[in-house]
Amino acid sequence: MIRGRGQSGVVGILGVMIFSAIIVVIGSAMVTTSVLSMQQSQERLDSTQSIVNAESGVEDGLLQVKRSPGFGAGGATVETSFDDRNRTEYRVETIDTESCQDVRQIMASGYHDTLVRRIQVDDCPQPSVDADFVYALQAGAGGITMGNNADIIGSTYSNGNHTGENNASVSGDVWVAGTAAPDASPEHDPATVTDFIFGKSSSPNVIDVAQAFTADTSQSGKLVKVALKVKKFGNPANATIRIVTDNNNQPSGTQVAGGTLNASSVGSTLQFIDVSLTNPPTLTNGQKYWIVVDTSGSATNYWAWGVGDDNGYPNGTGKSSDRWRSSGTMTWSPVGKDFAFKAFMGSPPTYAQGVDIGGDVHANTLNQLTVGGDAYFQADNGSTIAGSSFPGSEDPPQRDLPITDANIIDFKTQGASGGTYTGDVTIALGTSQTMGPLKIDGNLTVENGSTLRITGTLYVTGTMLFSNNATIVLDPGYGADSGVIVGDGTVTISNNVLFTGSGTPNSFLLLGTTSTSDNAIDVSNNATNIILAAPKGTIRLHNNAGANALTANRLVLDNNAVVTYVSGLNDINFSNGPGGSFAVGGWREVVCDSASGPCEPVTQ
C-alpha cells in the first residue's frame, strides 16, 4: 500500500510538470504572437503614415497648380519636412496624354523613417467656358412665341419667326434672321474622324486650313452659315472664317463672305460648331468655293479640325498654308483628306408678327407690329412704325446660340470630374444639402422648401424637378464666376423656386439640358434669377414665370411671363466651382525601382 502511494505521487508530479511545460509553450507562443502582432501593427501604422505624407505632397502640388497654372511647366521639385521622422518630396512635370494636353503629372514620395510610399497623379486642366448672353432671348430655328401680356425687358434675336399675341411686348430691339435650310447641302460628315492640328506655331506651314466645296443652290442661292467639326487646345483667340472663290484649285484672295469661329463655343472634343455668315453671299450653282479658317500660331493655344480617313467628299479637298492673304502669293499644300463640314443654304423668308416693340425691328417681313423705333425690312403688312423705315434692307444674318453642344459636353466633363453617384438623388422637404462637382446617373429632385448649395458643376443624366419654394444657390467660393447644372432629360421648375449666384456681382446660375423635347425646360410661376439653355429643345415659361436670359432652339412665353435681362450677362465665365476647379485623373499608388523610377501601379 505504501509503495502504491509513492508511485501515485510520482505520476502526479510528472503530470504537473507536463502541464506546466504546456502552459509555458502556449504562453511563449502567445507572447511571440503578440510581439509579432504589435510589430505588424506598427509597420502598418508607419506605412500608413508614409502614404499620408505622400498624399500631403500630392495635395500641395495640386494646390500650387491651381494657384499658378504655369507651375511645373518646365519641371519643379518641392521637399517639405514635418519633423525628424516625416517628410514629403514631390516632382511636377508636364506631359501630353491622348485625352489631355499639357497635363501636370505629380509624383509624390512620402517618407516615415526608412519607409517610403509613392503616389502618382495626372492633373488634366478642366475646360472653362466663356459665354456672351447679349440678348434677353435668343432662339434657334424654332423661333419665339409670346402669349397675351408676355413681356421681355431687353432685346431678342431669333433664327426663326418671332410672333406675339395681345399686348405681347419687347422693350428693346427685335432681330429675326434669315433662316437656314434644315438640311445641309453640301456636307461631308464621315463616320470616323481624326484630329488635324493647325494654328500651332511648331508647324509653321499649317497655320491656316481650307476645305473646298461645290455650291448646290437647289434649295436657295444664298449661303447662310457653315458648320465645322472642330475642337480646341488651350484658349486660342477667335478664328476668322472666310468663304473665298477658287483660283486654280486653291483658295483665292477674293472673299465673298465672312464669319467668326468663337473660341468660347468650341470645346475639348470634336463637335460641329455653327458659324453664321455676315452678309450671306449668293453662290453660283456648281462652282467651287473654299471655307478658309484664318488663325494665328501659338505653342499652347491652337485648333484641330476633324478629317476623314480619305478624300471622302468627291467635289473638294482639304489644304493647309502658312497664311491666307488677300493679295500676293499663297502656298497651299494638300492635306490628302477632306475636313468634316456642312454648308447651309437659305430657306423661305422669316417674319416678326403681332408684337409691341420699344426699339428697332430687323426682319424680312413685318406683320402688324407696333414699332417705337426704326424698321428694317423687305416687306411690311400693316405695321405702325414711329421711327424711320428702311425697305429693301438685307435680312439679318443668323446668330449662333451662346451655349453649344460642345460647351455642354465640357460641362458634363466638369461634373464627372467629381465622381459619379448611381441612382436618384432627392433633397427632402425642408432639408439642405451641398454637392458638386458630381455626375448623378439618375434623376435629381429638390423638394418643397429645401436648399441645394452648389460647389461644382452638376451633371444629371435623368430628369430634374425643382419643387415649390426650393432654393438653389452657388457657393460663395465661386466669386465672380458662374455655375452650371446640366442634364440630358427634361427640367421642371415649379412655383417660387429661387436661384441665386455666389453673392458676387455678375455671378449667375445656368441650368441647361440637351433634351430635344417640346418641354425640355418647363417653368411655372415666379421662378427667378436663372439663365436657361436648351439648344436642342423648347423652353416654356408659364404665368408670371421669370428668368434673366433664355436660349433654346424654340422659346415659348405663355400669358404674363416676364424675362428681365441683366447687363452683367454680356460676358460671363462658367467655372467648375470651388469644389472642382480642376479634375484629377489617375490617382494611384505606385512602386518605383528607385527614387526616380521607373514606376508601376501597386498590384492589389
User: Which is higher by pLDDT, 205 or 580?
Assistant: 205
Share the mean pLDDT of the chain: 83
| Confidence band of 586 (pLDDT split at 50, 70, 90) | very low
List the grid coordinates of 350: 422669316
Q: Which of 412, 400, 415, 401 is nearest to 534 (CA)?
A: 401
Residue 539 has a pLDDT of 93
Q: Quick check: 370 pLDDT over 90? A: yes
List the grid coordinates of 486: 446640366
For residue 168, the one-letter residue type is A
Query: 381, 368 in Cβ contact below 8 A?
Result: yes
Residue 65 has a pLDDT of 66
The residues spanned by each domain of the chain are 35-125+590-601, 129-159+399-574, 187-345, 356-391
Instruction: Indicate the range of 258-267, 518-527, 578-587 predicted with least confidence.
Output: 578-587
Q: What is the DSSP string of 312-329?
A: --TT--EEEES---SSS-
How far apart are alpha carbons 335 and 210 in whole angstroms? 9
Given the DSSP bridges, would you call strands 444-446 and 464-466 parallel, antiparallel or unpaired? parallel
3-class DSSP assignment, residue 488:
coil
Query: 144, 162 in Cβ contact below 8 A?
Result: yes
Q: Quick check: 382 pLDDT over 80? A: yes
Q: What is the pLDDT of residues 412-468, one digit of tens each?
A: 988 988 889 999 999 998 899 999 899 999 999 999 999 999 999 999 999 999 988
How far apart are alpha carbons 176 and 162 in whole angstroms? 7
Q: Quick check: 8 pLDDT over 50? A: yes
Q: Which of 294, 302, 304 is nearest to 235 (CA)?
A: 302
Question: How confident is the model over 194-214, as a mean pLDDT?
Answer: 94
How far apart are alpha carbons 173 and 145 in whole angstroms? 16
List the grid coordinates of 354: 403681332
Residue 581 has a pLDDT of 44
* Upstream peptide bond of 437 is cis (omega within 30 degrees of 0): yes
Residue 590 has a pLDDT of 52
Residue 178 has a pLDDT of 87
Largest Cα span, the chain: 144
List the grid coordinates of 496: 417660387
Residue 96 has a pLDDT of 64
Query: 156, 174 in Cβ contact below 8 A?
Result: yes
Three-state secondary structure readout of 241-284: EEEEEECCCCEEEEEEEEEEECHHHCCCCCEEEEEECECCCECC
List the grid coordinates of 402: 451662346
Question: How confident is the model over 270-276, as a mean pLDDT?
Answer: 93
Residue 52 has a pLDDT of 74
How far apart are alpha carbons 392 and 139 in whole angstroms? 24
Residue 601 has a pLDDT of 46
Instruction: Indicate the range of 53-67, 230-244, 301-315, 480-494 predicted with least confidence.
Output: 53-67
Question: Is 15 buried (19+), middle (13-18) or exposed (0-12) by CB count in 10 A?
Answer: exposed
Look up the pTM and report it.
0.70
3-class DSSP assignment, residue 126:
coil
Q: What is the pLDDT of residues 39-66, one digit of tens each?
A: 555 566 666 777 777 777 776 776 676 5
Q: Which of 188, 191, 207 is nearest to 199 (CA)?
A: 207
Question: How confident is the model over 567-571, as a mean pLDDT?
Answer: 59
* 561 alpha carbon, distance to own chain's centre: 29
Residue 38 has a pLDDT of 57
234 secondary structure, DSSP code: S
* 440 alpha carbon, distance to own chain's centre: 16
Q: What is the pLDDT of residues 114-155, one digit of tens each?
A: 777 777 776 555 555 555 677 888 999 999 999 999 999 889
Q: Quick check: 546 pLDDT over 50? A: yes
CB within 8 Å of 176: residues ≥ 6 apart: 143, 158, 160, 161, 162, 350, 351, 352, 361, 362, 363, 364, 396
Please state which architecture CATH assigns to domain 187-345.
Sandwich (2.60)
